Structures are given as C-alpha cells and as structure tokens.
Amino acid sequence: LRDAEHRRASRIPSQFSQEESVTMKESLKGAIQIPTVSFNPGEFNTTALAEFGEYMHRVFPTVFRTSFIRHEVVGEYSHLFTVQGSDPSLQPYMLLAHIDVVPAPDQGWEVPPFSGLERDGFIYGRGTLDNKNSVMAILQALELLLIRNYIPRRSFFIALGHDEEVSGAHGAQKISALLQARGVQVAFVVDEGSFIMDGFIPSLKKPFAMVSVSEKGSLDLMMEVNSTPGHSSAPPKETSIGILAAAVSRLEQTPMPNMFGSGLLKITLQQLAKEFSFPVNVIFNNLWLFWPIVSRLMERDNISNALVRTTTAVTMFNAGIKVNVIPPVARATVNFRIHPAQTVQEVIKLAKDIVVDDRVQYHVLEAVEPLPVSPFDDRALGYQLIRQTIESVFPEISIVVPGTCIAQTDSRHYTNLTTGIYRFNPIYLTPQDFSGIHGINERISVQAYEMQNR
C-alpha cells in the first residue's frame, strides 16, 4: 500500500519552469518582508499577521479558489486548510508550519533582517529557515500541483500557527482543539524540527537526513532569594544577589546526568554506523562495549551535548534597585530542556539537590514533559512515507535516521490527534546555518528552497 501510494504521488513531474522558479523565490522574499514577530505570549505584531493572511491569498490564488480545499482562520491569525482527497477511506495526514518569527534587531546582520534580499545565491532574513520556508513551500507546492490538475487521494490538513515562537497557545492549540471537537484523527503529522544534517559530525563527510521522532521537554524554573534591605555601607556577609549567583553558578557547573544509555541516540548512531569508515563504524556497531567513550565524546560539542542530557541554561537574572541599597530580592530563571528519559519532577529534584540552599525558593513558570517516541519501524506509515519521499527527492542522501528534536515545536499540541509525530524540514543544514536560527544572518540557499518545493 505504501509503495503504491508513493508511486502514484510521484507521477506528477516536479520540474519547474524558469518562470515558476522565479515566482517561488520572489514569493518567499515577499513573505520575509512581512515582520510577523512574536514578542511574548499574547504579544504579536497583529498588523503584520493580518497582512500575511492577505499575502497568502495574493500569491496562492489557486489554493484559495479550489472547491475541494476549505480555508479557515483560527485564533484570529492562524490558518487551517482542509484538502479533501478522493478516497475517504484513507485516514488524513497533516502538515504543520508557523508564520511567526522571533525578533531580529538589525545589529550584526549583513542585510536588514526583514529585507528578504538575495545575495550570492542565498535569500537572507528572519524566517528563511524558521519557518516561513515551510509555510511558503507547502502552499507553493500545493499551488503548482493544483495548476497541474492534481487531486489527492488521501485528504490532508495544513495548519499554519501564528504564535509558535511563544508557545502556540493561540494557534496550534486552538486548531488541535477544533479538529478534536470535529472527531478528527490523523495518520501522522509532519512539522519543523530536524533537517538534512551537513557537517554536524566531523568524521562524517556525507550529509544524512534526521527525522525527529521525539522532542525534548522543557522547564522554566524561577529561583528567588529574599533578604532584608538596608544601607550598603554596612552590608551583611551575603546579599540576595550573592546567594542567588552562587546557586546559579552551581547549576551551571553541575551538568544534569548523561542519559546516553537510556535514549534513542544509540539507535541513531547504530543506524548511522554504516556511513562511517573504520574504526568509527566498528565503535558505533558495538555500543554495548564502547558507549562510555562515545557518550563522553558527545558532551564536547554543544549540539551533541544537548542530545545526551537535560540541558541547563540560565536565561534571565534580575536584582537590585539602587547602588547603595542592599537588594531585597534577586530572581533568576533557568530554562531546562528535558531529555526524553527524564520527567519535569525529576529535573526539579535534581536542580534542588545541586543547589542545596534552603534560602532559595523555586517557582515553576512553565513545564512541558518530553514527547513520546513516535513509531519508526517498517510498518510506521508516516515515517516510511517521509523516508521514501526523502530518498526520491534527494537521491544523493544515503541514509535517513530517527532522532530527537532538541527544541520544541507546535507539533506537541497535536498528540490528541495522532501517535505519529515527525519533525523534518527538507533543507540541508550546516552548523553555520544552525547559528542563524534565532541568531543573525539567517538565510536559505535559493537552490535548497527550490528543492523544498518539490
């Protein structure tokens, strides 16, 4: 069934005319120029979000006038498309992306972050990788398929959230609730979250596709120390700032336990083993013996370290009111990204056991458990369809492996609709590209974007 479905879908040629290639890249540039920034939960650029809705109508007219596609606006600025397939016996699937972006001050950028300027074969701008590339590629591909008289057999949904960067409570969460109220269950969901990894493992020259089948959880833990205010000319031995700084420093200096043995990473490396030459292939094929060395090596780099443990990032620190006043209160917020083999409660206990200071009070601001592992065996429809599609669009990619997403995505709001949640963005990503996500000079190559439209 899976092979047959895949062959049918491949019948429509995926070559683009020169005019189509130009249109698709200009449409992405236009999308980047609309500053759909999410600042804080509930604090968005609503003018830009409304403009983005109008922009989609303008650049994808066929999508909006096709009789078997229903378009709904959810939560004021998010969009849900229901594409009715010809065979109602097939369970629908769902494609996700988000239209909001994180803020981007001009400083440090080679071109203004909302210019969408093209330079040396790259389109620059906030959202070119996270995640307007997906928004535009999904709709662009659908637009071009419709022009080629495409009628899908299997129904599908396209859900475009407008507040992923600040939790998804107004977008993805509402779309998911709406579909649940309609009794919808989907076969699988595909969202952002992993890429075709290029140059992330120094001894591996060939790129590999990683499809994330799980996602780390998170915990925002606010730590607070109160002390009696007074004149700074006669200070106590320790102030609230000093006590909190020491507690925060202990957390930074004491990493959470290495969970290499209890996660998916062993499977990822075993599947990757054949891509390496001797001796790495032997080491990855015999992790029962070599895991202590491998797990230590993974700790050396920030990205691979994030795959082996719950990470600890002190992201906010506030204290002090005047130069000559002993500070009454000091507060710090620590953002933990929880390894799938741990729970929120375990991480809170571990943090308290590291700090061991009862003058520190703890407040959980936000907590999300890690997501369950979606099936990726031979019978897992979603995973196998994604794998086959990667193999046919990118024949040069010799391996597709399951992995864990180190960040959080809107897909976590869809666990009520399916057990098959997969995170994959069909784009080559180098460590340098990765630094552009939420950073400076975020960019996508024109060629890579064209491939994403196939």
Ligand X SMILES: CC/C=C\C/C=C\C/C=C\C/C=C\C/C=C\C/C=C\CCC(=O)N[C@@H](Cc1ccccc1)C(=O)O
Q: What does the DSSP assignment read for 72-125?
A: EEETTTEEEEEE--S-TTSPPEEEEEE--B----STT-SS-TTS--EETTEEES
Q: Which does 411 bind (CB under 5 to 8 A by kind): ligand X, Zn ion, none?
A: none
- Taking the complex as a whole, the smallest distance from the CB of residue 85 to Zn ion amounts, in Å, to 28
167 lies in the binding site for Zn ion (CB under 5 A): no
Q: Which does 219 bind (CB under 5 to 8 A by kind): Zn ion, ligand X, none?
A: none
Is-contact 156 94, C-beta < 8 A?
A: yes
**H or E stretch covering 4:** helix 2-9
Q: Is the CB of 93 or the CB of 284 nearer to ligand X? A: 284
100 given a catalytic annotation: yes
Q: Which does 408 bind (CB under 5 to 8 A by kind): Zn ion, ligand X, none?
A: ligand X
- Taking the complex as a whole, the smallest distance from the CB of residue 74 to ligand X amounts, in Å, to 19
- Taking the complex as a whole, the smallest distance from the CB of residue 270 to ligand X amounts, in Å, to 11
Q: Is the CB of 9 or the CB of 273 nearer to ligand X? A: 273
Q: Is the CB of 154 or the CB of 337 nearer to ligand X? A: 337
- Specify the stretch interacting with Zn ion by CB under 5 A; choose among 1-9, 173-181, 191-199, 320-328: 191-199
Collapsing DSSP states into helix, strand and coil, what is residue 217? strand
- Taking the complex as a whole, the smallest distance from the CB of residue 251 to Zn ion amounts, in Å, to 25
Pick the binder of Zn ion from 130, 143, 163, 224 (CB under 5 A): 130
Q: Which does 227 bind (CB under 5 to 8 A by kind): Zn ion, ligand X, none?
A: none
Q: Is the CB of 130 or the CB of 433 nearer to Zn ion? A: 130
Interacting residues with ligand X (CB under 6 A): 130, 165-167, 192-195, 197, 200-201, 210, 218, 268-269, 303-304, 307, 405-409, 434, 437
Q: Is the CB of 100 or the CB of 224 nearer to Zn ion? A: 100
- Taking the complex as a whole, the smallest distance from the CB of residue 335 to ligand X amounts, in Å, to 8
Q: Which does 193 bind (CB under 5 to 8 A by kind): ligand X, Zn ion, none?
A: ligand X
Q: Is the CB of 24 or the CB of 307 nearer to ligand X? A: 307
Pick the catalytic residue: 164, 191, 433, 442?
164
Q: Which positions from 363 through 402 interact with Zn ion, judged by CB under 5 A?
A: none
Specify which residues 209 forms β-bridges with. 196, 400
Q: Is the CB of 130 or the CB of 163 nearer to Zn ion? A: 130
Specify which residues 311 forms β-bridges with. 337
- Specify the stretch interacting with Zn ion by CB under 5 A; choose among 190-198, 261-269, 366-374, 441-449: 190-198
- Taking the complex as a whole, the smallest distance from the CB of residue 300 to ligand X amounts, in Å, to 11
**CB-closest chain residue to ligand X:** 407
- Taking the complex as a whole, the smallest distance from the CB of residue 373 to ligand X amounts, in Å, to 16
* Catalytic positions, written as ranges: 100, 164
Binding residues for Zn ion, rule: CB under 5 A, are 130-131, 192
